[in-house]
């Protein structure tokens, strides 16, 4: 499956952003993406994240017969895998052009540069030597696979420990890690690859190109260098020719980046070493959050019979304590809680509301009765008797004032009429 080509608009946008010295992820021209190095639980397993590019390297060793032309030297073997999980453009079980190029570059970077003492891998001259195998798996492809693969490979080689070997007569005995401590590899230097991308016939230069920038680039330059500024390998691919000044400029930039990455690898190795000595968590598998299914797991709890009588006495004392002395916990509404001295409130919210309404109605009736009794004492209540029921009409204060005014006015009218009648008599 081939890569989906970019549209003309997207291609023009990327090239215009590069002309203005701007990148999609906000980096500067010579900036690397965020680099993260982690080690596995076993020796020789390394996991590298370069931005969104993820690579895992695993180093293993076995005793094999040496080569005829080099009977006193061990063997180094590199194997890369571009799985479809990393990118849809990769096909499983088929060697693409990119895979062959990456594999050759790794061999030049590590084997031809003599970064590892292969003579120390010899056990019996001409019969048994150690074969060190480096398997590199691409987990996610977001550009610059060569740099991530070289960092993961050299970090895994520095982290690897081979078993100790003893010779008794014609027999070769391989000791387990419990019997003898494993032995690290003798590494002279750490070659690290730095990738440069050129655009518009070499006019513009970028370090650590991402996947989209690799699609629109014109040429690619990979320089493998160690912290001593020694060039281990150099490879250029593309249709343009680079000038001497451009190559020298890239080598100066690569020397700075290699020294920074080397310091990061040494710090990661030291942190892993201290974590293993302290007995804490080590490896990227332990640092990830794990959700394990423990339904079939039986947890064994230690049973102590020495203080059984004390626990029984404490339980009896707690049972004899009256509920008033215990601290009552008020549960949340809608939560059921049953226990000694605690009240179950589950499903009793409606009953409490009914009781509150009933208590409020009782209080209202008592208030009405008190008003009626006071008004009866004052004579402001007019009772209308009926054969079956007695209805009580309560006159408001305004109505009582009007009645008093009417009665007073009628008495005033009745007064002068009576006086006139007396005069006539």
**Domain count across the chain:** 1
Asked if residue 158 belongs to a domain, the reply is yes
CATH number for position 44 = 3.30.230.70
Across 108-135, b (16+ Cβ under 10 Å) vs e yields: bbbbebebbebeebbbbeeebbbbbebb
Asked if residue 310 belongs to a domain, the reply is no
Asked if residue 242 belongs to a domain, the reply is yes
d(CA 81, CA 149): 11
Asked if residue 67 belongs to a domain, the reply is yes
Q: What is the pLDDT of residues 213-243, one digit of tens each?
A: 988 888 899 999 999 999 998 988 877 888 8
The pLDDT value given to residue 196: 93
Q: Is residue 240 within 8 Å of 202, Cβ to Cβ? A: yes
Asked if residue 309 belongs to a domain, the reply is no
For β-strands 45-50 and 35-39, DSSP reports them as: antiparallel
Which domain covers residue 218, as residue numbers? 34-286
Asked if residue 321 belongs to a domain, the reply is no
Asked if residue 332 belongs to a domain, the reply is no
Query: What is the SS3 assignment for 209?
Result: coil
d(CA 263, CA 255): 13
Query: What is the SS3 assignment for 45?
Result: strand
The pLDDT value given to residue 126: 87
Residue 263: which residues within 8 A CB-CB, separation 6 or more? none
Asked if residue 251 belongs to a domain, the reply is yes
Print pLDDT tens along the chain (425 aa): 456 778 889 899 999 998 888 888 888 888 999 999 999 888 999 999 999 999 999 999 999 999 888 889 999 989 888 888 888 778 776 778 888 888 888 988 888 888 999 899 998 888 899 999 999 999 999 889 999 999 999 999 999 999 998 888 788 888 888 888 899 999 999 999 999 999 888 888 999 999 889 888 888 999 999 999 999 989 888 778 888 888 999 999 999 999 999 999 999 999 998 888 887 666 655 555 555 544 444 455 454 555 667 777 777 777 765 554 444 444 444 444 444 445 544 445 555 556 666 666 666 666 656 655 555 555 544 444 444 444 555 555 555 455 455 445 444 444 444 444 444 54
Q: Give the closest residue to 194 by CA, choosing from 140, 260, 138.
A: 260
The pLDDT value given to residue 352: 57
């Amino acid at each position: 499956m081939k890569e989906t080509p970019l549209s003309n608009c997207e291609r023009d946008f990327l090239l215009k952003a590069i002309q203005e010295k701007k990148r999609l992820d906000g980096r500067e021209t010579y900036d690397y993406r965020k680099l993260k190095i982690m080690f596995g639980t076993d020796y020789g397993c390394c996991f590298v994240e370069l931005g969104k590019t993820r690579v895992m390297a695993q180093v293993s060793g076995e005793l094999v017969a040496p080569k005829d032309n080099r009977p006193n030297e061990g063997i180094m073997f590199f194997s890369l895998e571009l799985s479809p999980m990393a990118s849809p453009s990769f096909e499983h079980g088929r060697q693409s052009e990119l895979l062959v190029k990456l594999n050759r570059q790794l061999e030049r970077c590590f084997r031809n540069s003599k970064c590892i003492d292969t003579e120390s891998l010899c056990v019996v001259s001409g019969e048994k030597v150690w074969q060190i195998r480096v398997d590199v798996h691409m987990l996610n492809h977001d550009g610059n696979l060569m740099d991530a693969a070289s960092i993961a490979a050299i970090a895994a080689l520095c982290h690897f420990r081979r078993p100790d070997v003893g010779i008794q007569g014609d027999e070769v005995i391989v000791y387990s890690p419990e019997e003898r401590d494993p032995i690290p590899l003798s590494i002279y230097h750490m070659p690290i690859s730095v990738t440069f991308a050129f655009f518009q016939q070499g006019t513009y230069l970028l370090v650590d190109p991402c996947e989209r920038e690799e699609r629109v680039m014109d040429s690619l330059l990979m320089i493998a260098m160690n912290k001593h500024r020694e060039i281990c390998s150099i490879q250029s691919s593309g249709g343009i020719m680079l000038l001497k000044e451009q190559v020298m400029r890239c080598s100066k930039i690569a020397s700075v980046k290699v020294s920074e990455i080397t310091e990061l690898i040494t710090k990661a190795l030291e942190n892993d070493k201290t974590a293993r000595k302290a007995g804490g968590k080590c490896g990227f598998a332990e640092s990830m959050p794990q959700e394990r299914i423990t339904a079939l797991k039986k947890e064994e709890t230690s049973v102590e019979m020495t203080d059984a009588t004390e626990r029984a006495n404490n339980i009896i004392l707690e049972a004899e304590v009256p509920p008033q002395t215990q601290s009552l916990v008020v549960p949340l509404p809608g939560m059921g809680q049953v226990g000694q001295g605690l009240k179950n409130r589950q499903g009793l919210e409606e009953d409490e509301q009914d009781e509150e309404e009933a208590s409020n109605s009782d209080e209202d009736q008592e208030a009405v009765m008190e008003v009626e009794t006071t008004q009866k004492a004052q004579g402001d209540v007019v009772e209308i008797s009926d054969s079956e029921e007695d209805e009580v009409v309560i006159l408001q204060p305004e109505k009582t004032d009007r009645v008093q005014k009417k009665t007073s006015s009628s008495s005033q009218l009745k007064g002068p009429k009576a006086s006139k009648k007396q005069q006539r008599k």
